[in-house]
């Protein structure tokens, strides 16, 4: 790339004092990174116990109750994503629609975040990507496209 295009690498928002920062758009996760990781490990143990009893709806609800978000919670996010994969691997595709129907709107939005995170980082997954598409399809049928819009506009990413 020639020097004629070097100006495109400049972050012009850094020179604008009126630019909104993510921290101004939502409250940060109140937990420290260590506490969020500890919570993610606790939830993973709880989910494993629930999956052992074949209680997939409760396992998913437990995961979606208080997932980590924010820039400094990467380890907790990875731990939570692996817990989500455990749930996916334990779920029959014929049960997905009924499970999704049993979730609240907030839980459906959180589930959609996890589905999109899985699509974003397929190298981290130990699941066939078509499973994510099945969850996305059933979730969209139940929650509508509003779920997609809410997730795409929410700045609290997992």
The rounded distance, in Å, linking the Cα atoms of 25 and 41 is 28
Q: How far apart are CA 115 and CA 110, in angstroms?
A: 9
Identify the DSSP state of 18.
T
Residue 5 has pLDDT above 70, yes or no: no
So what's the pLDDT on residue 21?
64
Triad 31, 22, 100: Cα angle to 5°: 65
**What pTM value is reported for the model?**
0.81
pLDDT average, residue stretch 112-139: 87
What's the chain's Rg over C-alpha atoms? 18
7's enclosing H/E stretch is none
DSSP label at residue 54: T
Class of domain 30-153: mainly alpha
Contacting residues for 142 by C-beta, under 8 A, at least 6 apart: 97, 100, 101, 108
90 backbone dihedrals φ, ψ, rounded to 5°: -95, 0
pLDDT tens figures, 18-51: 766 655 666 677 788 889 899 999 999 999 999 9
Domain boundaries, the chain: 30-153
Give pLDDT tens digits for 80-113: 999 999 999 899 999 999 999 999 999 999 999 9
């Amino acid at each position: 790339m020639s020097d004629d295009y070097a100006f495109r690498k400049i972050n012009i928002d850094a020179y604008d004092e009126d630019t909104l920062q993510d921290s101004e758009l939502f409250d940060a996760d109140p937990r420290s990174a260590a506490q969020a990781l500890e919570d993610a490990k606790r939830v993973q143990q709880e989910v494993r116990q629930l999956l052992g009893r074949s209680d997939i709806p409760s396992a998913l609800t437990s995961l979606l109750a208080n997932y980590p978000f924010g820039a400094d919670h990467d380890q907790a996010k990875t731990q939570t994503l692996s817990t989500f994969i455990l749930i996916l691997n334990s779920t029959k595709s014929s049960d997905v629609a009924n499970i999704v129907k049993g979730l609240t709107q907030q839980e459906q939005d959180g589930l959609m975040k996890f589905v999109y995170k899985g699509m974003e980082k397929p190298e981290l997954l130990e699941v066939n990507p078509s499973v994510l598409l099945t969850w996305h399809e059933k979730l969209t049928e139940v929650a509508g496209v509003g779920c997609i819009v809410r997730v795409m506009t929410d700045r609290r990413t997992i």
